[in-house]
């Protein structure tokens, strides 16, 4: 596996070109160009040529020294240092400006090339297209993970096997949000995800909350995570219930941008996983996408499910695989048959002993892609250990009214 990083704003804390322009006193021109480029409003190549035309007349040596001092995200720099052979920097920036910075980072780096005469840039020789470097490593048989934040990372992310949009220095370019696998806003969370991709797992389970659906049966015109329950969004209730969990992963699709905004009011270190095909797929697909690069054990959680706080604690402390069920409360539901030891024997649409409510806990070794419901993924694994919980599903408007009543006395 190879990790390919964009440089500016992903590994460095600041965009580097404004630092150069600030130093040489041509701020305004560059700042405007940079903002418009990062947002995707000027084609990268044109913008790059215009920026080099402005900055190329200043001392290359001085620029290089200046950029050597740019501060890096420390945990990312540490990850790169610890995985030097598997990390690569790909930047559109000129290599002649970044040599010192490249040395400081310490891994293989690719940049654009220029001809330098008398310490000035006289000609751009090549402009790096990041997707070519992605293709290069893929052709060598590597799985490529691309981490970036700007519109000029779009094609590289499209070509990569796994793409992570980073929102560390600024929000990722909007164009990335419709193609990336993950968006992560917190440095520690980004490093956690990269380590998980390397098989370096945390010792607790991950929680995967599926919030990608359109919530059509509820009829409130909102994805369920954003529905208000007693003055707070459903997702904020769940975040409170999982406050103690390090690796919380939220699968998003419909109204993903609004969910991100709501979640970030409460915590910044959630890993957002995209199910771009949320309209054609069901919760099985969302769970798979949320769990595939998580810790080995993942607690599967439907975004429309509220479970009694005491039961949530019990489930988080219970090791191993299990499936949860509750008393039957609605007619149109999937039920389970349970033996005398509490093991789940099968799922059925035609009645049973209890209602299948979720959540469930599954080991990665049993995870397979499934475009259908989560329980379809568990059917071949039965019999499985069952645990009875007080769980409340919010599928219909009546459920919504009922849950609003029940949660009135909850203290979280």
Smallest distance, Mg ion to C-beta of residue 322, A: 43
The pair of structure tokens assigned to 410 is 């909850």
Q: What per-residue string of b and e applies to 302-330 under the rule 16 or more CB within 10 Å gives b?
A: bbbbbbbbebbeebbeeeebbbbbbebee
Smallest distance, Mg ion to C-beta of residue 274, A: 20
Smallest distance, Mg ion to C-beta of residue 268, A: 19
Smallest distance, Mg ion to C-beta of residue 10, A: 5
Tokens 């796994």 belong to residue: 162
What 261-265 contacts at long range (C-beta under 8 Å, 24+ apart), as own/partner pairs, is 262/225, 262/226, 262/233, 262/235, 262/236, 263/235, 263/239, 264/185, 265/236
Smallest distance, Mg ion to C-beta of residue 95, A: 17
Smallest distance, Mg ion to C-beta of residue 266, A: 27
The pair of structure tokens assigned to 79 is 């990850």
> Measured from the CB atom, is 150 or 358 closer to Mg ion?
150
Smallest distance, Mg ion to C-beta of residue 173, A: 9
CA pair distance 223, 115, nearest whole angstrom: 54
The pair of structure tokens assigned to 278 is 């949320």
Longest dimension (CA), the chain: 85
Smallest distance, Mg ion to C-beta of residue 49, A: 18
What is the Cβ-side half-sphere exposure of residue 213, based on CA atoms within 13 angstroms?
26
CA 234 remoteness from chain centre: 20
> Measured from the CB atom, is 13 or 385 closer to Mg ion?
13
> Measured from the CB atom, is 14 or 216 closer to Mg ion?
14
- Residue 219: other Cβ atoms inside 10 A: 10
155 touches 129 (CB < 8 A): yes
Identify the DSSP state of 79. H
> Measured from the CB atom, is 6 or 355 closer to Mg ion?
6
Phi, psi dihedral angles at 396 (to 5 degrees): -120, 170
Alpha helices (H) along 27-142: 27-38, 44-55, 60-68, 74-82, 95-105, 130-139
Nearest to 379 by CA among 400, 395, 356, 408: 356
Smallest distance, Mg ion to C-beta of residue 145, A: 16
> Measured from the CB atom, is 36 or 61 closer to Mg ion?
36
> Measured from the CB atom, is 12 or 64 closer to Mg ion?
12
> Measured from the CB atom, is 34 or 193 closer to Mg ion?
34
- Residue 292: other Cβ atoms inside 10 A: 18
> Measured from the CB atom, is 152 or 281 closer to Mg ion?
152
Whether the bond between 359 and the residue before it is cis, its omega within 30 degrees of 0, is yes
Smallest distance, Mg ion to C-beta of residue 384, A: 45
What 3-state DSSP class applies to 274? strand
> Measured from the CB atom, is 8 or 262 closer to Mg ion?
8
Nearest to 90 by CA among 34, 153, 44, 141: 153
Binding site for Mg ion (CB under 5 A): 6, 8-9, 149-150
12 bridge partner residues: 72
> Measured from the CB atom, is 17 or 252 closer to Mg ion?
17
């Amino acid at each position: 596996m190879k990790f390919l990083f964009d440089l500016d704003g992903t590994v460095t804390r600041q965009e580097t070109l404004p630092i150069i322009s600030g130093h040489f006193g041509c701020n305004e021109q560059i700042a405007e160009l940079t903002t418009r480029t990062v947002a995707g409003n000027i084609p990268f190549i044109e913008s790059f040529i215009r920026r080099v035309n402005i900055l190329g007349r200043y001392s290359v040596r001085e620029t290089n020294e200046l950029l050597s001092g740019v501060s890096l995200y420390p945990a990312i720099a540490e990850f790169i240092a610890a995985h030097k052979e598997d990390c690569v920097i790909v930047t559109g920036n000129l290599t002649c400006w970044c040599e010192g910075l490249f040395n400081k980072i310490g891994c293989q780096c690719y940049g654009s090339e220029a001809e330098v005469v008398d310490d000035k840039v006289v000609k751009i020789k090549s402009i790096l297209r990041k997707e070519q470097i992605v293709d290069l490593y893929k052709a060598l048989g590597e799985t490529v993970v691309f981490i970036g934040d700007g519109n000029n990372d779009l094609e590289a992310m499209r070509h990569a096997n796994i793409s992570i949009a980073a929102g560390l220095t600024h929000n990722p370019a909007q164009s990335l949000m419709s193609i990336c696998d993950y968006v992560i806003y917190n440095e520690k969370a980004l490093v956690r995800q990269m380590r998980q991709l390397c098989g370096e797992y945390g010792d607790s389970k991950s929680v995967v909350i599926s919030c990608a659906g359109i919530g059509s049966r509820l009829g409130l015109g909102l994805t369920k995570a954003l529905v208000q329950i007693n003055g707070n969004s459903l997702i904020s209730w769940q975040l409170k219930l999982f406050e103690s969990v390090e690796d919380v992963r939220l699968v998003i699709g419909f109204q993903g941008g609004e969910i991100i905004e709501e979640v970030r009011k409460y915590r910044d270190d959630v890993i957002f996983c995209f199910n771009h095909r949320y309209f054609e797929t069901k919760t099985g697909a969302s769970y798979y996408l949320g769990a595939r690069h998580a810790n080995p054990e993942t607690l599967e959680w439907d975004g429309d499910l509220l479970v009694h706080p005491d039961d949530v604690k019990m489930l988080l402390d219970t090791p191993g695989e299990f499936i949860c069920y509750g008393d039957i409360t609605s007619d149109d539901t999937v039920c389970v048959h349970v033996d005398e030891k509490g093991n789940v024997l099968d799922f059925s649409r035609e009645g049973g002993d209890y209602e299948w409510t979720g959540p469930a806990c599954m080991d990665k070794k049993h995870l397979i892609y499934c475009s259908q419901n989560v329980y379809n993924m568990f059917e071949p694994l039965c019999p499985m250990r069952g645990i009875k919980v007080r769980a409340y599903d919010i599928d219909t408007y009546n459920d919504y009214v009922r849950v609003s009543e029940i949660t009135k006395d909850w203290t979280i």
